[in-house]
Amino acid sequence: MTSISADEQLHWLALKLIPGLGARKSAYLIERMRSPQAVFRASRSELEAMGLPPATAQTIVSGCTFEDAVLQQQRLLDAGAALVPITSPEYPPALREIFDPPLALFVRGRIELLQSLMIAIVGTRRPTAYGTAAAERLAGDLAAAGLTIISGMARGIDTAAHRAALASGGDTAAVFGCGVDVIYPAENRKLAEQIAERGALISEFPMGSPAYPQNFPVRNRIVSGMSAGVVVVEGAQYSGSSITARLALDQNREVFAVPGNITSRMSWGPNLLIKQGAKLVQEWNDVVVELKPEDRRRLAERAQGSLPLGASQENNRPNFPPGPMGEICRTIFAALKPDSPTHIDALLESCDACSSSEIIAGLFELEMAGLVRQLPGKHFVRLWTEQPCSR
């Protein structure tokens, strides 16, 4: 838990709940007054002299937000969440550097992750099979290398990145566009529970805040602001991921992009970013080599025992079952593609040396090994893994 007392927390919450008091003005007040308690002790004339509108100054002087702050404090307790104010040593140092850092963060989960080295992976809510596979591969490898994967837990690429980070045994953080006790989208409830237990759920919005559409662009500045860089996997030209990339540039963060098929609308965003100077990403090491030297050293210390920095992905070969079934699995695996789903009828035709029962059994083995995924309509796609060496 955070080091602030219950009284301090109450004052931070009351200040956070002042209507019309934005992030910039809140930070300015704290810079001038040093604490929320001092802000509430100030007179109306003093507050107006610091540039506050009369109505906002009167709201602060009246203390009318303390009643709601008490309710927020109880919600924090009920959810097992914590409040991390901007002056706290637990507040993310990278986020404090941006133009408009949040006055405070609501956090469920491992608060220590706020101090970790983060990489954002973002993209469309409607990814192709290629986009999902690329996000999973990059998130899993980067998390295994010691980076915390941060995203917005939206459908599509965000969800794939969070799940892959958890599956690799790594760390992940999700930034909400609502309260940390409000799960959106609802189908990610189980994922949110896993992240709350093994990672961190983060929001600047008070407890119980609904997922209003206008909250998500605001949320994106936190995703990029907490990161050393942002990786865009798929997205249209004016998508939310493109907004996050622009915010990252404004915040002097690295921008990375995974190239896509030029005929796909979902590739327009990342391909355009590459044309504009974003770093092209084919594997996890393309991200790591762009980090600051001190971040690379920090990452190397944390990644001891994991995949070593600079290791070749060519050594990361899939393991097939021994004997005849292994040969069948190799044949099926080679016939599948990571960027285009293959229908089972087409697979039966291309693997004519195998019987239908052998192919079905082989697909089951590959799915259990995490090398192949079944999509709706009896389509199958190979996950983003290197082709096996020829025997």
**Per residue in 260-284, pLDDT tens?**
888 888 888 899 999 989 999 988 8
| Higher pLDDT, residue 136 or 302 | 136
CA distances from 335 to 134, 328, 364 (A): 19, 11, 15
Confidence of residue 313 (pLDDT cuts 50, 70, 90): very low
Degrees to nearest 5, angle at CA 25 with 16 and 46: 95
CA gap 297, 314 in Å, rounded:
24
- Written as six digits, the tokens of 62 are 């009246």
Q: What's residue 304's pLDDT? A: 53
Q: What's residue 193's pLDDT? A: 95
Confidence of residue 221 (pLDDT cuts 50, 70, 90): very high
| Higher pLDDT, residue 204 or 386 | 204
Bin 390: left if φ > 0, else alpha if -120 < ψ < 50, else beta.
Answer: beta
Indicate the average pLDDT of the chain: 86
Percent with pLDDT over 70 in the chain:
91
The answer, yes or no, to whether residue 354 has pLDDT greater than 70, is yes
The answer, yes or no, to whether residue 311 has pLDDT greater than 70, is no
The answer, yes or no, to whether residue 340 has pLDDT greater than 60, is yes
Q: What's residue 386's pLDDT? A: 53
Average pLDDT score over residue span 189-217: 94
Confidence of residue 321 (pLDDT cuts 50, 70, 90): low
Write the DSSP symbol of residue 113: G
**Domains of the chain in sequence order:** 1-77 (1.10.150), 111-311 (3.40.50.450), 324-382 (1.10.10.10)
Q: What's residue 315's pLDDT? A: 45
pTM of the model: 0.80
Average pLDDT score over residue span 175-183: 94
> Minimal CA–CA distance to 249: which of 275, 283, 270, 277?
277
